[in-house]
Amino acid sequence: MKKYKIKGLPTQQNATLKNRIVKTRGRAKWVGVVYLAASFLLLIAACFPMMKSDYVKVGLPAVWREFTLSSFKSMSTAVNIIPFLLALLYIAMLILLFVMFCRAVWGIGGLFKRKANKKYGFNLNVNAMQGMGKVFSDMFAIVLSVYFVIFVLSGSGKPNVLFYVTVELGLAVHFTCGLRGGKASYFDVDENGKMVERRRLVGRIAPFCRNLVQLVGVFVMAYLFLRTSRIHECIEAMLKKDVWVNHFLKNVVSFASLLLQFVTGISLLVLLKHATGTAEFDMEGTQASGMKNYRVFAFFIFLASGATFAYRFLFGEVALRYLELEERTVITISRWTDQISLILAGLGLAMFVFEVIMRNYPRERVAMNAKTAGGEGTVTDDGNVVQQAIEIPTTDDLPTDDVSVFSETQ
């Protein structure tokens, strides 16, 4: 690798290049700092209970009560096993959030780097910003997913004020930083030694609208699923000694609706992960990784929820009731018209159709020999803006954000 220095560059185009690089770095720093601060606040908020429940202990001050000696002695009953497992899930969530926040802190050096990197060139700041964005999105999705699982498996509890505040602030950061950070440019050096700026060629309005609909859709579907799910009742009963051997293994078909509900719940978690992620605001637009996830799993929800409705209406669903005095489980099969599952299936189908319609948006804007922001240049078919008169800028020609580009020679 050899370091080149250019002298006597044309003033106007050199200034244009410097301004573009400095502006991109400033954008990356601002977005990265907001992501980092939001990740820290999310970690702190997760340490406090975000739900009201007498059945499950969450929040650092209360979760340790599930790990007392008396709790372990009463672990033989299913009523105590589920809260204990959910407490373990909550503790695992906090540990994972802490590790992920440490990863975000580790990226501060790259975010504020003032010199070009041999591996990433001018893009080290943007890469650090995107890394922090992914960490925040993953943390946000983990918190929402864990509480969703707790609500499903406990069958009780209601979100408190802290939960709603966390969701609102998390979504505000998600949209603000996604829109602003999604416009950051990439700078590369082509085989001719010319500086290439790869700018965003797709709009941000369509991704914003699609992502907003995705979030509203997944929140509504999660609410409906919590109302119609009977997973907690079945799991609690299946933990009894006689149910697994005498009933479940001999009548697996009778528990089909339970398995369908599991498919619906897992699909909702995937939709939640995608909707709170950064893929929708990626500069690659419709070609970004993971853009098909939402439509695929929305279709799974349509199939699973529709099958749940049909199964409950035609064959009925198994209901388990444990008689403590007789120490045995009574199984009954009840049939009913589950309108909520039908609505959930219809909403899943609607989201699938919406995703199919929006699959080609936003469209790319391709222009040849376009005038670039602040100067002249050529926009190629792949979206690269080539500054014709500038070959390889270096430390001597750039402002205090002093950088160098390394070019490989034969």
Q: Tell me what percent of the residues of the chain surpass a pLDDT of 70.
A: 72
Q: What is the mean pLDDT of the chain?
A: 79
With cut-offs at 50, 70 and 90, classify the pLDDT of residue 217.
very high
Within 13 Å, how many C-alpha atoms sit on residue 6's CB side? 20
What single DSSP character describes residue 203?
Answer: -
pLDDT of 325: 64
Closest of 267, 233, 258, 256 to residue 344, by C-alpha: 267
Low-confidence winner among 52-61, 177-186, 246-255, 258-267 (lowest mean pLDDT): 246-255
Count how many residues are written for the chain. 410
pLDDT of 289: 76
Closest of 141, 138, 309, 334 to residue 225, by C-alpha: 309
pLDDT of 3: 45
Closest of 65, 56, 233 to residue 160, by C-alpha: 56
Q: Tell whether the model's pLDDT for residue 145 goes beyond 90.
A: yes
With cut-offs at 50, 70 and 90, classify the pLDDT of residue 169.
very high
Q: Tell whether the model's pLDDT for residue 114 goes beyond 60.
A: yes
Q: Tell whether the model's pLDDT for residue 387 goes beyond 50.
A: no
Q: Which residue has the tokens 């995937």?
A: 270
Q: Which positions ≥6 away from 190 have C-beta within 8 Å?
A: 196, 384, 386
Could you give the CA distance from residue 92 to residue 28 in angstroms, rounded to a whole number? 31
In terms of pLDDT, which residue wins out, 75 or 39? 39
User: Please, is 332 exposed, middle or buried when counting C-beta atoms within 10 Å of its C-beta (0-12, 13-18, 19+)?
Assistant: exposed
Could you give the CA distance from residue 128 to residue 108 in angstroms, rounded to a whole number? 7
In terms of pLDDT, which residue wins out, 274 or 57? 274
Q: Tell me what percent of the residues of the chain surpass a pLDDT of 90.
A: 38
pLDDT of 382: 46
CA dist 145 → 6, 89, 211 (Å): 53, 11, 18
pLDDT of 327: 64
pLDDT of 393: 43
Summarised one tens digit per residue, pLDDT across range 263-302 is: 999 999 999 999 999 888 887 777 777 788 999 999 999 9
Inter-residue contact 173 to 8 (CB < 8 Å): no
Inter-residue contact 384 to 367 (CB < 8 Å): no
Query: Roughly what angle, to the nearest 10 degrees, separates helices 231-238 and 78-106?
Result: 120
Closest of 95, 141, 135 to residue 111, by C-alpha: 135
Q: Which positions ≥6 away from 267 have C-beta within 8 Å?
A: 297, 298, 300, 301, 304
Could you give the CA distance from residue 104 to residue 402 in angstroms, rounded to a whole number? 24
Q: What is 23-89 written as a DSSP string?
A: HHHHHHHHHHHHHHHHHHHHHHHHTS--EE-SSS--SHHHHGGGGSHHHHHTTTSHHHHHHHHHHHH
Q: Tell whether the model's pLDDT for residue 368 goes beyond 60.
A: no
pLDDT of 94: 95
What φ, ψ does residue 186 adopt, rounded to 5°?
A: -110, 145
Q: Does the CA dihedral 133-134-137-143 come out positive or negative?
A: negative
Summarised one tens digit per residue, pLDDT across range 299-323 is: 999 999 999 999 888 887 777 666 6
Inter-residue contact 88 to 58 (CB < 8 Å): no
- With vertex at residue 12, the alpha carbon angle to CA 10 and CA 17, rounded to the nearest 5 degrees, is 95
Give the three-class secondary structure for 213: helix
